[in-house]
Structure 1
Amino acid sequence: MATLKDVAERAGVSIATVSNCLNNTKSVKPATRTRIMSVIEELNYIPNASARNLKSETSREIGVVFPDIDDSCHSDILKGIISRAESMDYSLNISFSYHTPKLERKIIDQLIGRNVAGLILISCQPDNVEYFQNSIIRHNVPAVFLEHFPDSIDANFLAFDNYNSCYYLTKKLIENGYTNIKLMIGHSEFFTERECLRGFSDAHDDLGLDFSMNQMIETRFTTESAFRKAMFNIVEEPPQAIITSSYPLAKGIIEAFNLCSIKVPKDTCIITLGEESWNESNYLPNLIHTSRTAHTMGIRSIDVLMKNLHEPAFFEKEFMLFKDNVIGSHLNIPKAPAPYHSVRTPKRTLRIIATSMPTILSLHAVSREFERQHEVKIEFDFVSYRELIETIVSDSKREKGRYDIYMFDVSWLTYLANLDVLTDITELMTSNELFSKHLVPKNLANACYKGRFYGFPIVGGSHILFYRKDLFEQPTIQHQFESLYNMPLRPPKTWKEFNGIAQFFTKKYNPYSPTLYGTSIIGSVNEEFALELQIRLWSFGGGLFDSSGRLKLDTPQNIKALQSLLDTAMYTENGISDTSINSSFYDFGSGRTAMLLSFTEYGTLINDCLHGDIITKIDYSMVPGQTPANVGWHMGISRTTRHTELIANYFKWICQKQTSYYMTTLNGQSTVLHPYENQEILRLYPWMKLNTKCFEKARNRIYPYQSAERIIPPYEIETILQDVCQKAYRKELTVQDALRQAEKRIQALFKLKSL
């Protein structure tokens, strides 16, 4: 176990300096403080306040660390711990990690520093064996792990026998005629979840039925995640039965089923592993649950810890599985239902043409409720970004178009409005205060052109920077960065700082970098690349137009901006043209890159790409230069639709509080204010807090649109911009020549005279 003296020697300072650094009793130079904190992390030194003050006394405090209190099973375990500890005259220090590995480690380190007698924990990072070896085991702290067990750790472990419970439940369902059964569990790196899957699989095998991994749905341990998985993976074709590993997961499924009018157990039987309770009102109606003795597990965890404390020399660590009160008992499993089919016969059909993105997929999922209420079928056709604008224009020229609603990008509004493609819906948007009161003002303003409304805002995220907070706050990395640049490592405020940090995190330029590349540039889609360029042009004081409103690209400001973008490309894997949105998410989530420029619209998707401990180690900041792009998508009404009144009701339904909550929970970025005022949602999706600040600074993408002969679509200009940038990247053109060529090609596009 490292001592204060060990830290001082390794850092090359006195013991007093280390003490001053830890206790903030005297000023310590930033560079010295960084070096000391780096050594503390390297040696895993834990300051022990209790040892300093009460070295001769035995602590009677037990540290308890749980991931949350939302799960009623965890609540009952905690009640058992409290009741037993109080009877033994021990006090409890109870903390919650909220499924955040970094916070859990901080809590454990603080508890060890307080010299607690022992620890009881439900870990959210059971795969982090090295940490537990270096903290709990190395410091010889008696500990009892519940439910989630780190492999290869010599510690006490108590859990429920999920294998036999899931085996028994699956077997009973199959024997009752069920042939289509699914299992929903938390992350499979957790021992208890793996045991559920093993029991489920073995029951199928032993009864001669084929088991497929498609029958297993893996998610996070939250109701929101289960709701998302159910909406996107289950409600379209619900199985005859679903087994869940915890009550919160069952709640998420039932919420989705209620929204989609799927009846439990008439259409689908849901069984969950649940805690023991005498009060049936604690459970959702028609939910079948096992009866776990969670309270007893809490009591037993204290007993095991006490035995470990009182008999340290010869105590053998305990591995104990508690059986659910289900095996051998009678379960009232209903007869297997017939395959599910909707009995609804819609009277009308609304057809929507769109491109696939999180909010639109969320809208597609929750629209089942509107369909039921209005006896309508809503059909979405998904096409690529380029195909969408071309389809809208061609459909609008038909005497009777195929589509009733067009999804279109903010930057297309001028183009489509001047083509007379969209219905003027000013009266609808201004006559109903529902829209002015409940829509985000910036998003509402985006749908207005020359004082008239041509769209209903449906997507309204903002451009932000995602970065690896765990790397930015690591003392060793901070010290290395400060030594190189003589400034602290922080989220970049300027593009020069952004490129400096990107270089630092690129292994080619820094062999000690923990990531391969500093960032990535999304270049596979013209629009995405144009946004990467635009935010830099604005930041350097440039743009497509000069102060007189004339097209002018060859300016000193734009030269600096494009050079900055080309510099960024040096710290990416694929330069500026080959990286897709999804691959940029994967690279960031897998730890290949340290920073990612993207949109709050994609926040949940980015989180879903994160692996292991990285999942709780990202943070968010405004884009460098403080000039984010004003982004968003609208729903425009076709001029040939016969369903204008129905569409108006659809827009009003989208503005409802509950609808906006559902859409936000399902990965989306609502344009409705309600989610921004809900603290629970902001806790779940913290990047949304940046939106208000970004909206204030966001700038509009304005392209010239009308030549002497035709209306020019935005993608033609974006294609030119990307093409010349690629030539500059390949060094076929200088930066200035690339901008000159772009200016001439756009002038030719509009048949403008050279300026």
Structure 2
Amino acid sequence: MATMKDVAKLAGVSHGTVSNIINGAKGVSLDKVKRVEKAMKELAYEPNAIARSLKLSKSMQIDVIMPNIVAAAMAQMYTDLSALFAEKGYVTNLHITNEDAELETRLLNMSLMHNVDGVMLLTCQPGNTELFQRLRQSGLKIIFMQRQPDDEQRHYVGLDAQEQTKSTVSQLLETGYQDIGILLSPIQYTLEEQTFDGYVEAHRDHGLTVQQHLCAVSSYDREGLLKEAIRLIASSKPPQVILVICSQAMDAVLKACEVLHVPKQSRPLVVANMPITWTLTSREGVIVVPHPYITLTEAAFNMMLDYIDEGQKFAARTVFLKVKPIHLKELDPQPEIRVKEPRRKLRALLTIDRARYAMETLKSDFEEKTGYELEIDAKSYPKMYWAIKDEWYNDYYDVFDVDIPWLAEFAQKKVVENLDGYLAEDPDYYDDMLPGIFEKYAERQGSVYAIPFTFCTQLLFYRKDCFADIRMQRMFYEQHKKELRPPRTWEEFNAVAQFFTRKYNPDSPTEFGTTLGSRMSSGGVCEYLPRLWSFGGEVHDGRHFTLDSAEAVAALNNYKESFRYASAESCDNWWGEQAAEFRSGKAAMITIFTDNMSTVTEWSKSKVNGKIGFDLMPHKVGVDGGWALAVNASSKQKRAAFEFIKWATNKEISVLNTILGGFVPRMTAMENLEVSNVYPWLHRTVEASGFGRMRELPLKADGTCLSEQIFEDILGKAVYDTVTGQSDAQTALTIANNELNVLLAEVELLKAE
């Protein structure tokens, strides 16, 4: 058996150097690290081999590592495992990962370090074969349950539900159900993949094509499942049946029907896979397909006992337990759809984003409570400002969605209604709004002109798996003599971005260090301003623009440098494209408004879910973002318009709105632990708002507001011209600064003439 001394000799280093490398010390040159790693591989040296050879007895401890125990199946599996191992004198230690791959890795390494006798694992990273092979070679005994890893030497016990699913869907199709939906957790997991394959096969056998809009994939948490259930049921052609494979998904569908006020006779039938148990009770509108989780748990338990007894001699084994198809009980005929009577209309103009989608999805609740029919029109962000300016003088729209920097201008020009009187009728209605939010988002000229609707600020998001990689940490330390960490300054940001860009570092796990986007003026300006403020510059001094300062130029050059560490498309990206690049796994970092990160956590789109870290922006300063709902001053239904705003921002809707991707700045939503399972950075968003700054402009010479949109267009062009190489920073900013100061002095110039 090879020793550490053998490794040191072969690598040509000292015994202490080998020890430092094994223990993760960073002050070791990369050349030595590579030589030691190569020697360890050639000698098949395992650091824990000696420690394990000295192990005299069993620990009598079993670690059970699961994503959650909220799911009925997982709760039953843990309960049964605990009871079975207790009979043999073992203590079971439960660990919850919440589908966090990095946390699961740390827990497995702790299991190895604590010399537990074995681990019962429902993994959230089935593709991480390198980790599982290393742990197995180190002597850690793992029984994989339900989620089959790619590792061919696995010891695995799971269900095989493909034929059962095919039979169930076939029976539904033959009964007359055509629009059969399916709500699953990530398809990368074994049971989910089997279920989807059976679902597709049944359709194919009946000469049908699967309808993509009826297929939903979510994270495993209740909030993510609720979001997808609402999307399915609120679609223009909702499913007649929804097939689910866990208790949270079943509850999500039933809750979605309740939230959307779907009449009982119109609700989709739920076909749910559930553990076999005598405590299972029937629920209206639900057909249960029993799954033998007790048998699965017993099989996994016995496999672990054999593994413990035989040790490394225990050959890899895979056991699939077939789920028997059952005959579904008699199905009710589909009810006739009743035509709704016409109602009074209330019209809202909202920007195209997740909050607008939430309103579209939840509007039946408002209609049920008020008797109004809510009609929502939507414009893209670049067109929204001009749409409001074009529409405010007529009474077509009753409610406008207003970007925060526009509010001062719209209030001054009486585009939006003063809401002081409405708020006075119920002064405690917004008592749990975030501190200071009304001053930033709603009050102008000493009065309230809008109600905060969506709240966001900028945060730094990063690939925590990349930053936690020991090899990357050593390499960065060798190059910079600093710890690899989320950057605290913009200079450090560029250094880290360069390090994680494969063009400059062939060993980087990501192609690019960051994602950027300056195509739209709003994108370029909002990415530039945090750097401007961090470098000590200001947009204006209260009377004149000061964008030609040395600090402003240095900040823009720093921003331009960042584009060297981003994709070639970055100059023409905007926030949506940035988020897409990050969730694809191409980049190590992204600085972006938090509301644009909602798609990054969607399992159907993201390759980095469970690997996302987040922190405050470099220098802590960022741009405050968000929208407010305002009553059109020309509306003839102002009272009804305000009632819609109250409904859209109330405590109950704020939680659902946030789950769906909008973020009402109420503490009810921001401090909700269940909501934070979907968006774990919410608490950091609240903290960051304390450091955030608004986009505020000086008044023109006549006391009127300069258009924020015009300001962004002028500064955005300067930023874009600089990062694309069409101009240097000094020239571009000087031109923009002069143009903006001319706009401020327009009235004075006219008087002088």
Q: TM-score, normalised by structure 2?
A: 0.91
Tell me the residue number matched to 1:599.
593
Corresponding letter in the other structure for 1:518:
G
- The 1:456–1:5 alpha-carbon spacing in structure 2 relative to 1, beyond 3 Å, is farther
Map residues 701-740 of structure 1 onto 2, 5 A cutoff: 701-704=695-698, 706=700, 712-740=706-734
- The 1:531–1:12 alpha-carbon spacing in structure 2 relative to 1, beyond 3 Å, is farther
Distance 2:362 2:9 in 1: 61
Deviation for aligned residue 1:626: 2.2
**What is the aligned length?**
742
- The 1:147–1:130 alpha-carbon spacing in structure 2 relative to 1, beyond 3 Å, is same
1:379 aligned to 372, 375, 390, which one?
A: 375
Distance 2:46 2:454 in 1: 47
Map residues 618-633 of structure 1 onto 2, 5 A cutoff: 618-633=612-627
Q: 1:351 and 2:347 equivalent? A: yes
Deviation for aligned residue 1:313: 8.5
Tell me the residue number matched to 1:273.
273
2:527 aligned to 532, 549, 552, which one?
A: 532
Tell me the residue number matched to 2:56.
56
Tell me the residue number matched to 2:469.
474
Tell me the residue number matched to 1:515.
510
- Conserved? CA contact 1:34–1:478, under 8 Å: no
2:392 aligned to 393, 396, 414, which one?
A: 396
Tell me the residue number matched to 1:363.
359
Distance 1:615 1:41 in 2: 30
- The 1:311–1:690 alpha-carbon spacing in structure 2 relative to 1, beyond 3 Å, is closer
Corresponding letter in the other structure for 2:363:
S
SS of the aligned residue for 1:291 comes to strand
Tell me the residue number matched to 1:321.
320
- Conserved? CA contact 1:7–1:39, under 8 Å: no
Map residues 449-468 of structure 1 onto 2, 5 A cutoff: 449-468=444-463
SS of the aligned residue for 1:123 comes to coil
Corresponding letter in the other structure for 1:255:
K
Distance 1:584 1:263 in 2: 41
SS of the aligned residue for 1:635 comes to strand
- Conserved? CA contact 1:264–1:270, under 8 Å: no
SS of the aligned residue for 1:378 comes to strand
1:659 aligned to 648, 653, 664, which one?
A: 653
Corresponding letter in the other structure for 1:386:
P
- Conserved? CA contact 1:235–1:257, under 8 Å: no
- The 1:683–1:181 alpha-carbon spacing in structure 2 relative to 1, beyond 3 Å, is closer
Deviation for aligned residue 1:444: 1.3
Map residues 493-642 of structure 1 onto 2, 5 A cutoff: 493-546=488-541, 549-574=543-568, 577-608=571-602, 614-642=608-636
Distance 2:153 2:53 in 1: 30
Tell me the residue number matched to 1:98.
98
- Conserved? CA contact 2:213–2:232, under 8 Å: no
Distance 1:280 1:327 in 2: 19
SS of the aligned residue for 2:608 comes to helix
Distance 2:423 2:21 in 1: 60
- Conserved? CA contact 2:515–2:566, under 8 Å: yes
SS of the aligned residue for 1:528 comes to helix
- The 1:481–1:175 alpha-carbon spacing in structure 2 relative to 1, beyond 3 Å, is same
Q: 1:742 and 2:736 equivalent? A: yes
- The 1:218–1:20 alpha-carbon spacing in structure 2 relative to 1, beyond 3 Å, is closer
Structure 2 gap segments, 5+ residues each: none
Corresponding letter in the other structure for 2:325:
I
Corresponding letter in the other structure for 2:634:
T
Corresponding letter in the other structure for 1:405:
V
Tell me the residue number matched to 2:194.
195
Distance 1:3 1:567 in 2: 48
SS of the aligned residue for 1:290 comes to strand
SS of the aligned residue for 1:302 comes to helix
- The 1:159–1:737 alpha-carbon spacing in structure 2 relative to 1, beyond 3 Å, is same
Could you tell which deviates more after superposition, 342-351 or 523-532? 342-351
Corresponding letter in the other structure for 1:365:
T
Tell me the residue number matched to 2:406.
412
- The 1:743–1:318 alpha-carbon spacing in structure 2 relative to 1, beyond 3 Å, is closer
- The 1:53–1:612 alpha-carbon spacing in structure 2 relative to 1, beyond 3 Å, is farther
Distance 1:40 1:82 in 2: 42
SS of the aligned residue for 2:158 comes to strand
Corresponding letter in the other structure for 1:154:
Q
Deviation for aligned residue 1:579: 0.9
Distance 2:184 2:457 in 1: 33
Deviation for aligned residue 1:500: 1.6
Distance 2:455 2:703 in 1: 33
Deviation for aligned residue 1:416: 1.1
Q: Deviations over 1:337-382 (max 9, x none)?
A: 147x565435322111121122232233223212111122211111
- Conserved? CA contact 2:234–2:361, under 8 Å: no
Distance 1:314 1:538 in 2: 63
- The 1:626–1:392 alpha-carbon spacing in structure 2 relative to 1, beyond 3 Å, is same
- The 1:9–1:674 alpha-carbon spacing in structure 2 relative to 1, beyond 3 Å, is farther
Corresponding letter in the other structure for 1:697:
F
- The 1:702–1:610 alpha-carbon spacing in structure 2 relative to 1, beyond 3 Å, is farther
Deviation for aligned residue 1:425: 0.7
Tell me the residue number matched to 1:335.
332
Deviation for aligned residue 1:615: 1.5
- Conserved? CA contact 1:50–1:113, under 8 Å: no
Distance 2:543 2:636 in 1: 41
Could you tell which deviates more after superposition, 638-647 or 702-711? 702-711
Deviation for aligned residue 1:315: 5.7
Deviation for aligned residue 1:254: 1.5
Distance 2:606 2:12 in 1: 35
Tell me the residue number matched to 1:676.
670
SS of the aligned residue for 1:642 comes to coil
- The 1:148–1:35 alpha-carbon spacing in structure 2 relative to 1, beyond 3 Å, is farther
Pairwise CA RMSD: 3.1
- Conserved? CA contact 2:494–2:561, under 8 Å: yes
Distance 1:256 1:607 in 2: 20
Q: TM-score, normalised by structure 1?
A: 0.90
SS of the aligned residue for 1:434 comes to coil
Deviation for aligned residue 1:300: 2.0
SS of the aligned residue for 2:348 comes to strand
- Conserved? CA contact 1:576–1:726, under 8 Å: no
- The 1:454–1:102 alpha-carbon spacing in structure 2 relative to 1, beyond 3 Å, is same
- The 1:373–1:436 alpha-carbon spacing in structure 2 relative to 1, beyond 3 Å, is closer
SS of the aligned residue for 1:697 comes to coil
- The 1:624–1:734 alpha-carbon spacing in structure 2 relative to 1, beyond 3 Å, is same
- Conserved? CA contact 1:49–1:114, under 8 Å: no
Corresponding letter in the other structure for 1:514:
P
SS of the aligned residue for 2:143 comes to strand
SS of the aligned residue for 1:433 comes to coil
Distance 2:665 2:142 in 1: 48
Deviation for aligned residue 1:216: 2.6
| Aligned-pair identity (%) | 25
Distance 1:520 1:599 in 2: 13
Q: Deviations over 1:617-669 (max 9, x none)?
A: 22111111222112221111011223222233333334433212111111222
SS of the aligned residue for 1:274 comes to strand
Distance 2:219 2:414 in 1: 47
Q: Deviations over 1:308-347 (max 9, x none)?
A: 44456986644333344x6244x324224147x5654353
- Conserved? CA contact 1:46–1:113, under 8 Å: no
Could you tell which deviates more after superposition, 416-425 or 474-483? 474-483
